[in-house]
Amino acid sequence: MAKAPRIGPYICGIDAALDVVSGKWKGLILWELNAHRVRRFAELRRGLPGVSEKMLTQHLREMEEDGLVHREVHAEVPPRVEYSLTEHGRTLNQALGPLGAWGSERMRRENSEVVDVAEPSHG
Amino acid sequence: MAKAPRIGPYICGIDAALDVVSGKWKGLILWELNAHRVRRFAELRRGLPGVSEKMLTQHLREMEEDGLVHREVHAEVPPRVEYSLTEHGRTLNQALGPLGAWGSERMRRENSEVVDVAEPSHG
DNA sequence: TGCGGTACTTACCTTTTCGTAAGGGGAATC
DNA sequence: GATTCCCCTTACGAAAAGGTAAGTACCGCA
């Protein structure tokens, strides 16, 4: 049980969309899956530096439930599980395009502020 | 202190953007402020059904710190505080446009699934 | 004199989220 | 034969986020 009903009375579309992408790694998962089309669990894990197996599974399951991610299990030994974006996942990624651009701009702004304050060789 | 450093080593732009809008009411605040150009604290409060004063203040402060919201205090009695979007806030809102459209679509989809379960004779 | 409205702040508590560590079952590798 | 890899699951605990309720200082209104 990750988030229970998941059918909230949203006020507006932003609300409904943010509900699906809020989660520490979901943005990255979307990004990875969009870049590589299809990824196995361990590949995804290596692509997200710092993620734990538990969180990765949990997020993947939620995104599957939300209809963003397709999960395909191959009955082999050792097990092979492939993740990819569904149609909704792909359109979500497109919708996130402008937001990503805004975020990159923000990162640039932040960096140019940070160099004034932070120091590389600060004891 | 709400979120401390706020200058994380983001992996991509999505990451950086989601950090600023994640928060239970931030999407709505952006929406309200964009629709009305300028709003007072109590107006905002009434526009966000269910928000507590604490959370509204907290979110507003974080958004101010993130450079999205402009806060103008008029030294009057009773106090009058006006909130509006900054330039960055407005561009963020524009960047959220496609995401909002995607969310609305999702709401429509969800609703057509929900009518099977929830009360059918409604609106 | 008491009440409601203004814009908060503070203390305290519950809920949600995230992280850490361990286990599991089989097969290939060293 | 011990280890590693695969894809998880479970238990436990810490941290963050959010909610509730009260207090603050001032004023207009009845």
B119 domain-assigned: no
d(C-alpha A123, C-alpha B121), whole Å: 68
Is pLDDT at B39 greater than 50 in this prediction?
Answer: yes
d(C-alpha A66, C-alpha A6), whole Å: 8
The residue count for chain A: 123
What's the predicted TM-score (pTM) here? 0.84
Residue B122 is predicted with a pLDDT of 36
> Which DSSP symbol is given to B84?
E
B77 domain-assigned: yes
Question: What's the number of domains chain B is made of?
Answer: 1
Q: What is the pLDDT of residues B47-83, one digit of tens each?
A: 998 999 999 999 999 999 999 999 999 988 889 999 9
A65 domain-assigned: yes
A100 domain-assigned: yes
Restricting to B residues 17-46, those with a Cβ less than 8 Å away from any Cβ of A are: 17-18, 20-22, 27-28, 30-31
Q: Which segments of B19-123 are extended strands (E)?
A: 38-40, 69-74, 80-85
A40 domain-assigned: yes
B94 domain-assigned: yes
Q: Which residue of B has its CA nearest to A111?
A: B7
Residue B51 belongs to domain spanning? 16-104
Is pLDDT at A61 greater than 60 in this prediction?
Answer: yes
A57 domain-assigned: yes
Quote the minimal CA–CA distance from A77 to chain B in Å: 34
- Helix, strand or coil, per DSSP, at residue A86: coil
Q: What angle do CA A94, A100, A106 make, to 5 degrees?
A: 165
A80 domain-assigned: yes
